[in-house]
Amino acid sequence: MIAKKGEVTMAIRYPNGKPLSIKPSTPLDGYQHRGMDFEADINTMNQRYRDTNRAIIYKKPTPIKVGKLQHRSRMGPLITEAYFEMPSTTDYNGIYRGRYIDFEAKETRNKTAFPFANLHAHQIKHLQQIIAHGGIGFLLVHFVVHQQVYLLDGQDVANVLDSGRKSIPLDYFRLHGIEVPWGYVERLPYLDAVDQRYF
Amino acid sequence: MIAKKGEVTMAIRYPNGKPLSIKPSTPLDGYQHRGMDFEADINTMNQRYRDTNRAIIYKKPTPIKVGKLQHRSRMGPLITEAYFEMPSTTDYNGIYRGRYIDFEAKETRNKTAFPFANLHAHQIKHLQQIIAHGGIGFLLVHFVVHQQVYLLDGQDVANVLDSGRKSIPLDYFRLHGIEVPWGYVERLPYLDAVDQRYF
């Protein structure tokens, strides 16, 4: 196992035998690279939650519209022209403690607020619908500069939007949200925040 | 609105004002084209379930691995090389009557059985995990030649696989599954079968 810059490797393995690369809570080379790892951290966390049978949560594939295909013998078709599409819903969903769970994960370099420009209105509407149907729906926001992650319920997100604001203040997250602390073996243990908020 | 061959159009609209194209239960030009419409029928049904606020269920995007991107000014990037990936889970999931719901939809031209070759083992395992976590997980199979659709619980699917069979007999679907009748306004009302089986 080769350690990349800013990464400390330890000989810890998942229950399924896969090696786990551990990064320190405070990266050795500063927070700059953290942003790129947020999605990877959530995916790793979800893998671990599945491996330990705590929850079955997956990231949905990125919607892509296929334009042109080239058929090849002995192999699957090659896509030679395609476009990214706007997601209909949120990035992550699954089941946890018998409940349907659904969330969107975003990050911002803004120091004082999360701008709504980072979310689509229909994603907020989707979270509200999930909540209305008895599910758990929230937003997970990484404030990159502060290295802080907060869970905020979808209805709270909708309330701030309905109030006419263009962003959700960091203070609102601190008051109404739940902070997800960075961990070691469990890098981003967001289900602990879900436990605290919804159970 | 132009009626395609084998399609009867009627001036019925969804509650959201979108026009709905209605096809007869027995297609005018035989069953041959039905197979191609199965996924479209499920998607239309899910749209209607969302519009009527009965359930929030979506098809997951097809997973595609992007190889090469071409950046364009004023437009999103163009994908010039990509490949279809194997789905990690099933095609559809969402929330219904407060429960997490998850299913895979397949069709076969086989007259007497559904071959397991049409499913991945990890998809069956996924349905079992969903059930173990308190969710609803099933397989929806369209027997094209018979024009019949059956819902079969994920644990039943796993039981047949574990028995060493290479396929699930149609008779097994008839005995242990729930038939989903073709409808008009509600083309493929599979949630009625879910009601019958799980509630």
pLDDT in tens, B73-111: 888 899 999 999 988 899 999 999 999 999 999 999 999
Closest-CA distance, A53 to chain B, in angstroms, reads: 9
User: pLDDT band at residue B37, thresholds of 50, 70 and 90?
Assistant: confident
Q: Which residues contact A52 (CB under 8 A, 6 or more apart)?
A: A15
How far lies B151's CA from each of A37, A175, A193, B105, in Å? 40, 46, 36, 9
Burial class (CB in 10 A: 0-12, 13-18, 19+), A26: exposed
- Which stretch of DSSP H or E encloses residue A124? helix A121-132
Name the residue facing A135 among B61, B77, B95 (closest C-beta): B95
pLDDT bucket at B36, cuts 50 / 70 / 90: low
Choose among B58, B82, B126: nearest Cβ to A64.
B82
Residue B192: φ, ψ to 5°: -65, -40
Which residues, other chains included, contact A62 with Cβ-Cβ below 8 Å and sequence gap of 6+?
A84, A87, B61, B64
A50, A80, A89 member nearest B58 (Cβ): A89
A121-132 vs A154-162: helix crossing angle, rounded to 10: 130
Grade residue B57 by pLDDT with cuts at 50, 70 and 90: very high
Q: Which residues of A touch B (CB under 8 A)?
A: 50, 53, 55-56, 58, 60-64, 66, 76-85, 87-89, 93-100, 102, 126, 129-130, 132-135
Q: Which residues of B touch A81 (CB under 8 A)?
A: 78-80
Among the ranges given (A138-147, B21-30, B154-163), the one the predictor scored with the smallest mean pLDDT:
B21-30
Identify the residue whose tokens are 């509650």: B15
Q: Which CATH fold would you assign to the domain B12-61+88-198?
A: Trna Endonuclease; Chain: A, domain 1 (3.40.1350)
Q: In which region does residue B97 sit, left (phi positive, over 0), alpha (psi from -120 to 50) or beta (all else)?
A: left
Q: Using alpha carbons, select from B91, B152, B141, B153 the residue that is nearest to residue B112.
A: B141
Tell me whether residues B55 and A88 touch, CB distance under 8 A.
no
Which of B133, B191, B199 to mutate to probe the A interface, most A CBs <10 Å? B133
Does A152 have pLDDT greater than 60? Answer: yes
Q: Model ipTM?
A: 0.81
Fold of A12-198: Trna Endonuclease; Chain: A, domain 1 (3.40.1350)
The overall average pLDDT reported for chain A is 86
Pairing status of strand B12-13 against strand B19-20:
antiparallel
Distances in Å between the Cα of B145 and the Cα atoms of A46, A192, B7, B48, B60 are 41, 50, 19, 27, 27
What b/e string do you get for A171-185 counting C-beta neighbours within 10 Å, with b at 16 or more?
Answer: ebbeebbbebebeee
pLDDT of the residue at A98: 98
Q: A61 and B66 in contact by Cβ < 8 A?
A: no
